[in-house]
Structure 1
């Protein structure tokens, strides 16, 4: 299915522009000649050097403007809307991480609930053509029926992070209904790739290998009943979002929610073995992780598996990147970014931080 071309006369506000998905989306829109307004508070949830690297790669684009703003600050965010009057808003700013929400719940309420409320209020007072916002596959909780479909019951989240994302969907539905804000929520399924988030498992496993540490695998060592994840490569995600930007909801259905995943779940151990092979290719030497098997963590779910039929019907969404291809791009980037070398005199691997 074809979709409309991006309107380069519009202003696209991307919150979380220093983040993983926000950076790649900003870059793609800028390459298409669009005017992009990036907003981010550049917090230290993970290494800020990586966030600054992403921003540095966006700075050369003449049509890119960056504002260091926290969406939970209503006054600052409102001023952004008042001054720049964005036509399309893609809200990717949020406190991420299922397990971290158990350790530090306050920041999730501040960013994911209050921050998103501020976004909705700004869109109400400064009307936009389309609001796209990040939800999460975690809203499905411990649902055993797979693949997950958008019509499934999602009232039993098993983490605070998931609860905040479900709240976002409800809030967006209400504001869309009351104030006619065309809104689209996206339930992301384990997005990965180069310049990704260091708190994600694949990134953390790679870092631990170069630090000589064990990786913890939370599947009880039960390979017959392994965890399944619907790993989705970043390029496929960006293609989907770009298509949706030009395809706002119809007036009769001003709010909608889509799964955006790979529709092809992989066993966690298959993913780890593939990561080892790709890293071996990047290094030119065999890589084997030291593994420690532990019980599944509180808040984790056994499987994430997206039905993407609704998104495919709307925009023709069909992921094309295999985990072999995607992970190879990630490990090639990682080895280059962190200046990883093999000391031939000792045959040991060295990782030089930036």
Structure 2
């Protein structure tokens, strides 16, 4: 029985690790070198975020579709707005996101959302390969938060996350907290933001050891150019640690190389109020996944947003080198 449980666990962990490896850019461990759990929380929930480099804390007009990126984003304009997005990773591995917002005068904007990652169903076998039953593997997080305008142009928000992962006979739950602030200048040409993500702890553990959650501190700045319909963004992540080693390092990177591993760059071309083209670059993903034998586009991303009346359609594509790419689709609608 012990061997059987070990076999089930190995299968489930390998399945989950493959999904995390591609979706979070290749790291099987947190950038500090310590193992973390619930890595699905790091997956960009919005095609817009994914297209702009996989991190978002300062992008204007974000709203409920990027609620998981910065809980300060939702505002009065998002009242009764709902968003959903979808990723097909490989075969039966799928991830779904949904979120909604309701504004209450004098209180603020309530946001709520679900993140769900399914790895499909698998056969449980004995040592001879005989099928005994089926088991499933999934990750799930339910989030709710509140944001409000603190002064003209400045919003603050916080969210709580109830998290569960189940890999066959192994299960774990956790509670985490996120908070953020978002500022937009009166002329709309400058914006900035900061967030703390997933500060929390396991409630029930997979094994006897309590493992850390993927905590992160992020900050960013966005500038719209005056003579060109283009927004440029710089976002800095993993700000609680400096060194971010990875298995591809032949030697330790210098100051600039290390700084770039904390940096993502995004550009959003505003062709009109209804059509936006997005480009992004994530240097950490490039450093972890690039092939040394050829010119590699790992870490690069692009996407498109189209708005028709009260409905916005978003799509993005992220390159992960020899692993291929991941396409995300999303829709946001005001009811």
Normalised by the size of structure 1, how large is the TM-score?
0.30
**More strand as a share of residues:** 2
TM-score (norm 2): 0.31
Higher helix share: 1
